[in-house]
Structure 1
Amino acid sequence: MKRFAALLVVALLLLTACTADPPDDGEAYPWPDQAPGERWRPPPGVGWQWQLTGRLDLSVQAPVYDVDGFTTTKEQVAALKKAGRKTICYLSTGAWEDFRPDADDFPKTMIGKGNGWEGERWLDIRRLTELEPLMAKRFDMCRDKGFDAVEPDNMDGYRNTSGFPLTAEDQLRYNRLIAKLAHDRGLAVGLKNDLDQIPELVGEFDFAVNEQCAQYRECEKLTPFVEAGKAVFHVEYELSVDRFCARSRELGLSSLQKRYDLDAWRRACR
């Protein structure tokens, strides 16, 4: 009975999200009132845009923008906020990037093997004492630019060949620290991928961000977020929208088709 009630709530949230007219360019999106000091909590089915490369396109008709925390300016965040958009600050918290301005602040012994992306290598997330101030500084940047939330990337190093003997417990400890750092600054925080630890972490994260769960037939693992009234921001790269949107709607996901470079191009599930 409780499961049915939860699904009914999700269905009503999705109906509202799907039937509401999208705001015109520059028109404020009709978000519910938020009490002072209360952090943002995105509901299931809300539309979004994810852009990490290229000139930022502020005209996309999406109520949520997930953009690079370092390259997006305070003025761009303010422009999105004025238009009623909510903003998510993308950061890599589990991998070192050689192109970031704080790259030299990370001890070399903390930097492991490459994660498959140019200039990126896994971090030894067991070293919480050293990592906490580095990540806190980044989260301060997101807060000071006016972001509503953080998307911490590379949150599943223990499932990869990182160069360190990371365990599931190491990952849980680190991911919980990341959630606390965000919440201490009034920011919402998303769990990126890390599907196997959703049961342990869904209560501590405000939304989820997932790549390619449809391609790998894993989207059902994200159901705990939707049942908790929390958004799942989802992208596919190799599947066209006609291959996954119907199932995404059934599951309550906020789904896009994107290119791997994550420029402004998108196709949204309707």
Structure 2
Amino acid sequence: MGGKSLSRPWSLRKKLLVGVLVAVVVLGLALGLGLGLTVGREDGDGQDGSQPTATGAPLPSPTARLPWRPQVNESWQIVLQNSIVLAPDATSVTPDVSIFDVDLFDTSKETIDTLHRLGKKVICYFSGGSYEPGRPDSGEFEDADSGKELDGWPGEKWLKLSSANVRRIMKGRVELAHQKGCDGVDPDNVDGFQNDNGVDLTAEDSIAFISYLSNITAPFNLTLGLKNAGDIISNVLPVVHFSVNEQCVQYSECDTFAPFIEAGKPVFHIEYPDDAGSTIQENEVDKYCGDTGDAEGRKGFSTVMKKMDLDGWVEDCDRKVGTTAVNATKASR
């Protein structure tokens, strides 16, 4: 009796000790296996073990590459009217700037690859808040998704940003940007709440939509921009990485976009002088490139002067003029 009573605590301690040792071994194996799989995904030849997305683009490993973030004062060019023409063996591109903002649908992966080879970053433009006829996915929108036409853009309509179908289509566009190798995305027309939109859009709708775009671009390490929409900057500044602004000098509202600069995030700024495409008058350049009067708050912006159709012609604040070669086929936007 006494012997059994003395041995039972030891047996219990022995079982507990063995159990702990087994747990440690199992945990160590699990950690080692997990580490090995992670390393395998990083070192593999594109086989990251992820599942394909709806468009067939593989979801990247979270550590596949470091996200690119544009910097304040970086030089840029925007071409949306026509697709850029670049030979695969091109040794240069005009103008010699750091960043090109190009149309997602009309720009080929080969062109984006060539821009990368030339040391350029590529932001891909698409309309996030409007229906555009003639886009490859235009047929996927439903009648209930859209409202009134955009002023000055026949056939283009404001979208209901809370629509599950609209968001699904935009997710497909983000996946296409990843497939083509874009470094970031420039979703346009997210400011429908500031316009007569026909679908009762509010600022809260745009804020929620930008949050959604942030959630779906982050896994692809795509940098995300805010196009205009000055009224919601304070709400979305933490989740976007740059601003694309049009005509803040013309409308005396550059100080609205200055918080981007204060946060260390660039403002890619466009003005449309009447004489763009030829020699812009000195006083016009001074007006758009200053930081007083109508341009108050513009300091630190990456300013370009363009024609309204956003073709290959551009002039910067240093009076450097360049024309990016484009094809002769008019783009959809």
Question: Which TM-score band applies after superposition, normalised by the shorter structure?
Answer: 0.7 to 0.9
RMSD: 1.6
Contact 1:241–1:267 under 8 Å retained in 2: no
> Displacement of 1:224 after TM fit?
1.2
In structure 1, what is the equivalent of residue 103 of structure 2?
A: 68
- Give the distance between the partners of 1:228 and 1:51, measured in 2 at CA: 27
Aligned counterpart, 2:224 = 189
Match of 1:252 in 2: 300
Task: Give the aligned partner of residue 3 of structure 1.
Answer: none
- Does residue 42 in structure 1 map to residue 84 in structure 2? no
Identical columns (%): 38
Partner of 1:243 in structure 2? 287
Q: Determine which of 68, 80, 104 is the counterpart of 1:52.
A: 80
Pairing 1:21-40 to 2, within 5 Å after superposition? 37-40=65-68
Shift of 1:223: 1.3
Contact 2:83 2:106 in 1 (8 A): no
Alpha carbons 1:220, 1:251 under 8 Å: kept: no
Q: Would you say 1:215 and 2:250 are equivalent positions?
A: yes
- In the alignment of these two chains, the number of paired residues is 235
For the pair 1:264 / 2:277, whether they are aligned, the reply is no
- The one-letter amino acid of 1:267's match is E
Partner in structure 1 of residue 16 of structure 2: none
For 2:308, what is the secondary structure of its paired residue? Answer: coil
**Structure 2 unaligned spans of 5+:** 1-62, 86-92, 275-283, 319-333
What is the TM-score with the length of structure 1 in the denominator?
0.83
Cα deviation digits, residues 102-159 of structure 1 (max 9, x gap): 10101111111111213311001121x2222211111111111011000000010111
Moved over 3 A (4+): none
In structure 2, distance between residues paired with 1:250 and 1:216: 12
Which residue of the partner structure matches residue 157 of structure 2? 121
1:200 counterpart residue number: 235
* 1:147-199 residue CA offsets vs partner (Å, 9 max, x unmatched): 10000000101111111111111111112111222222210010000001111
**Which residue number in structure 1 is paired with residue 39 of structure 2?**
none
- Report if aligned partners of 2:254, 2:298 keep a CA contact under 8 Å in 1: no
Q: TM-score, normalised by structure 2?
A: 0.68
Rg comparison, structure with higher value: 2
Compared CA separation, residues 101 and 241, structure 1 to 2 (3 A): same
Assess if the C-alpha contact under 8 Å between 2:192 and 2:201 holds in 1: yes
1:174 has 2:174 as partner: no
Is 1:149 the counterpart of 2:184? The answer is yes
